[in-house]
Structure 1
Amino acid sequence: MLRFLFIFSVLISDMLFSQTQLNLIPYPQNVSVLDGEFAIPATLSLQEKLPEDETEYFKKRLKGRLKFQDAPKEKAQLVYSQLSKTGNTGQNDEFYSLEISPKNIQIRSYTNQGFFLALQTLIQLIEGHQDNKKIPALNIEDQPEFAWRGMHLDVCRHFFTVEEVKQYIDYLAMYKLNTFHWHLTDDQGWRIEIKKYPKLTEIGSKRKESMIGAYVDNTFDGKPYGPFFYTQEQIKDVVKYAQKQHITIVPEIEMPGHALAALSAYPELACTKGPFEPATKWGVFDDVFCPKDETFTFLENVLDEVIQLFPSQYIHIGGDECPKTRWKECAHCQELIRKNNLKDEHGLQSYFIHRIEKYVNKKGRKIIGWDEILEGGLAPNAAVMSWTGVNGGIEAAKSKHFAVMTPGSYCYFDHYQGDPQSEPNAFGGYTPLDKVYSYGPIPSELNAGQAKYILGVQANLWTEYILDFKHVQYMIFPRLMALSEVGWGTADSKKYKEFENRVVNQFKVLDKMNINYAKSIYNVSGKVIKGDNGVAYELSTSQNPKGIRYTLDGTDPSANSNAYQSPVQISKSVTIKSAYFEDGQLKSAVSSQEFITSKTTGKSITLEEQPSENYAFGGAFTLIDGIIGNQRQLGKTWLGFQGKDVVATIDFGQKTQFSEVYFNTLENKGSWIHFAKSAQIFVSDDNKNFKMIKEIGKDDIRNAKGKIKLNTGNQNTRYIKVKIENAGIIPAGNPGADSKAWLFVDEIGAL
Structure 2
Amino acid sequence: MQRILLAFSLLISMCFFSQTKLNLIPYPQKVEFLKGEFVIPASFNLSNNLPVKETEYLKNKLKVKYRNAKNQDAHLLYSKLENQSKPNNEAYSIEISSKQIHIKSYTDQGYFLALQTLIQLFETQKNGRIPTLKIEDEPKFAWRGMHLDVCRHFFTVEEVKQYIDYLAMYKLNTFHWHLTDDQGWRIEIKKYPKLTQIGSKRKESMIGAYVDDTFDGKPYGPYFYTQEQIKDVVQYAQERHITVVPEIEMPGHALAALSAYPELACTKGPFESATKWGVFDDVFCPKDETFTFLENVLDEVIQLFPSQYIHIGGDECPKTRWKECAHCQALIKKNNLKDEHGLQSYFIQRIEKYVNSKGRKIIGWDEILEGGLAPNAAVMSWTGIKGGIEAAKTNHFAVMTPGAYCYFDHYQGDPQTEPNAFGGFTPLDKVYSYSPIPAELNAEQSKYILGVQANLWTEYILDFKQVQYMIFPRLFALSEVGWGTSKQDNYKEFENRVVEHFKILDKMNINYAKSMYNISGKVIPDSKGVSYELSTSQNPSGIKFTTDGSEPKANSSTYENPIPVSKAMTVKSAYFENGELKSAVSSQNFFTSKTTGKKITLENQPSENYSFGGAFTLVDGIIGNVKQLGKTWLGFQGQNVVATIDLGEKINFSEVYFNTLDNKGSWIHLAKSATVSISDDGKTFKTIKEIGKEEILSAKGKINLKVGNQQAKFIKIKIENAGIIPAGNPGADSRAWLFVDEIGAK
What TM-score does the superposition give when structure 2 sets the normalisation length? Answer: 0.98
Which residue type is aligned with residue 54 of structure 1?
Answer: E
Is the 1:13–1:33 contact (alpha carbons within 8 Å) kept by the matching residues of 2?
no
Equivalent-residue separation in structure 2 for 1:310 and 1:234 (angstroms): 12
Q: Residue 6 of structure 1 corresponds to which residue in structure 2? A: none
Q: Which of residues 58, 76, 79 is equivalent to 2:77? A: 79
Is the 1:387–1:405 contact (alpha carbons within 8 Å) kept by the matching residues of 2?
yes
Q: Residue 109 of structure 1 corresponds to which residue in structure 2? A: 105
Q: Residue 39 of structure 2 corresponds to which residue in structure 1? A: 39
Superposed displacement of residue 87, structure 1: 4.2
Superposed displacement of residue 13, structure 1: 12
Q: 1:347 to 1:76 in 2, by over 3 A?
A: same
Superposed displacement of residue 606, structure 1: 0.5
Q: Does 1:550 align with 2:545?
A: yes
Is the 1:191–1:201 contact (alpha carbons within 8 Å) kept by the matching residues of 2?
yes
2:211 counterpart SS class: helix
5 Å matches for 1:99-248? Answer: 99-129=95-125, 131-248=126-243
Q: Residue 5 of structure 1 corresponds to which residue in structure 2? A: none
Q: Which of residues 313, 319, 323 is equivalent to 2:308? A: 313
Deviations 1:461-485, CA, capped at 9 Å, x for gaps: 0000000000000000000000000
Q: What's the Cα RMSD here?
A: 1.2
Is the 1:649–1:721 contact (alpha carbons within 8 Å) kept by the matching residues of 2?
yes
Equivalent-residue separation in structure 1 for 2:353 and 2:12 (angstroms): 61
Which range is displaced more, 488-497 or 576-585?
576-585
Q: Does 1:377 align with 2:375?
A: no
Is the 1:678–1:698 contact (alpha carbons within 8 Å) kept by the matching residues of 2?
yes
1:135 counterpart SS class: strand
1:392 counterpart SS class: helix
Equivalent-residue separation in structure 2 for 1:632 and 1:590 (angstroms): 19
Equivalent-residue separation in structure 1 for 2:18 and 2:675 (angstroms): 59
Is the 1:285–1:736 contact (alpha carbons within 8 Å) kept by the matching residues of 2?
yes
2:742 counterpart SS class: strand
Superposed displacement of residue 48, structure 1: 1.7
Equivalent-residue separation in structure 1 for 2:14 and 2:460 (angstroms): 47
Deviations 1:421-453, CA, capped at 9 Å, x for gaps: 010000000000000000000000000000000
Equivalent-residue separation in structure 2 for 1:18 and 1:53 (angstroms): 34
1:353 counterpart SS class: helix
Superposed displacement of residue 71, structure 1: 1.2
Which residue type is aligned with residue 683 of structure 2?
Answer: K
Which residue type is aligned with residue 30 of structure 1?
Answer: K
Superposed displacement of residue 15, structure 1: 6.0
1:118 counterpart SS class: helix
Superposed displacement of residue 14, structure 1: 11
Q: Does 1:704 align with 2:699?
A: yes
Q: 1:309 to 1:539 in 2, by over 3 A?
A: same
5 Å matches for 1:433-448? Answer: 433-448=428-443
Superposed displacement of residue 18, structure 1: 5.8
Q: Residue 415 of structure 1 corresponds to which residue in structure 2? A: 410
Q: 1:244 to 1:560 in 2, by over 3 A?
A: same
Q: Residue 559 of structure 1 corresponds to which residue in structure 2? A: 554
Q: Does 1:668 align with 2:666?
A: no
* Fraction of identical pairs, as percent: 79
1:695 counterpart SS class: strand
Deviations 1:95-152, CA, capped at 9 Å, x for gaps: 00011111110000000000000000000000001x5000011100000000000000
Equivalent-residue separation in structure 1 for 2:85 and 2:229 (angstroms): 42
Which range is displaced more, 554-563 or 79-88?
79-88
Q: Residue 6 of structure 2 corresponds to which residue in structure 1? A: none
Equivalent-residue separation in structure 1 for 2:549 and 2:499 (angstroms): 31
1:728 counterpart SS class: coil
1:295 counterpart SS class: helix
5 Å matches for 1:695-734? Answer: 695-734=690-729
Superposed displacement of residue 750, structure 1: 0.4
Equivalent-residue separation in structure 1 for 2:119 and 2:662 (angstroms): 49
Equivalent-residue separation in structure 2 for 1:468 and 1:531 (angstroms): 44
Equivalent-residue separation in structure 2 for 1:86 and 1:316 (angstroms): 32
1:660 counterpart SS class: strand
2:741 counterpart SS class: strand
Q: Which of residues 607, 614, 621 is equivalent to 1:612? A: 607
Is the 2:18–2:33 contact (alpha carbons within 8 Å) kept by the matching residues of 1?
no
Superposed displacement of residue 42, structure 1: 2.0
Deviations 1:576-599, CA, capped at 9 Å, x for gaps: 111111111111111111111100
Is the 1:532–1:569 contact (alpha carbons within 8 Å) kept by the matching residues of 2?
no
Q: Residue 348 of structure 1 corresponds to which residue in structure 2? A: 343
Equivalent-residue separation in structure 2 for 1:39 and 1:594 (angstroms): 55
Which residue type is aligned with residue 321 of structure 1?
Answer: E
2:691 counterpart SS class: strand
Which residue type is aligned with residue 45 of structure 1?
Answer: N
Q: Which of residues 540, 549, 561 is equivalent to 2:535? A: 540
1:425 counterpart SS class: coil
Q: Residue 66 of structure 2 corresponds to which residue in structure 1? A: 68
Q: Residue 287 of structure 1 corresponds to which residue in structure 2? A: 282
Superposed displacement of residue 532, structure 1: 2.6
Q: Which of residues 356, 360, 367 is equivalent to 1:365? A: 360
Is the 1:616–1:640 contact (alpha carbons within 8 Å) kept by the matching residues of 2?
yes
Superposed displacement of residue 668, structure 1: 1.4
1:216 counterpart SS class: coil
Deviations 1:497-554, CA, capped at 9 Å, x for gaps: 0000000110000000000000000001011111231111111111111111111111
1:70 counterpart SS class: strand
Is the 1:187–1:279 contact (alpha carbons within 8 Å) kept by the matching residues of 2?
yes
Equivalent-residue separation in structure 1 for 2:726 and 2:266 (angstroms): 18
1:692 counterpart SS class: strand
Equivalent-residue separation in structure 2 for 1:165 and 1:87 (angstroms): 37
Q: Which of residues 59, 77, 89 is equivalent to 1:93? A: 89
Deviations 1:373-427, CA, capped at 9 Å, x for gaps: 0000000000000000000000000000000000000000000000000100000
Q: Residue 399 of structure 2 corresponds to which residue in structure 1? A: 404
Is the 2:14–2:35 contact (alpha carbons within 8 Å) kept by the matching residues of 1?
no
Which residue type is aligned with residue 561 of structure 1?
Answer: S
Q: 1:348 to 1:567 in 2, by over 3 A?
A: same
Q: 1:68 to 1:12 in 2, by over 3 A?
A: closer
Which residue type is aligned with residue 689 of structure 2?
Answer: K
Equivalent-residue separation in structure 2 for 1:575 and 1:349 (angstroms): 51
Equivalent-residue separation in structure 1 for 2:641 and 2:361 (angstroms): 41
2:293 counterpart SS class: helix
Which residue type is aligned with residue 98 of structure 1?
Answer: I
Equivalent-residue separation in structure 2 for 1:138 and 1:215 (angstroms): 52
Which residue type is aligned with residue 37 of structure 2?
Answer: E
1:180 counterpart SS class: strand
Q: Residue 331 of structure 1 corresponds to which residue in structure 2? A: 326
Equivalent-residue separation in structure 2 for 1:690 and 1:369 (angstroms): 46
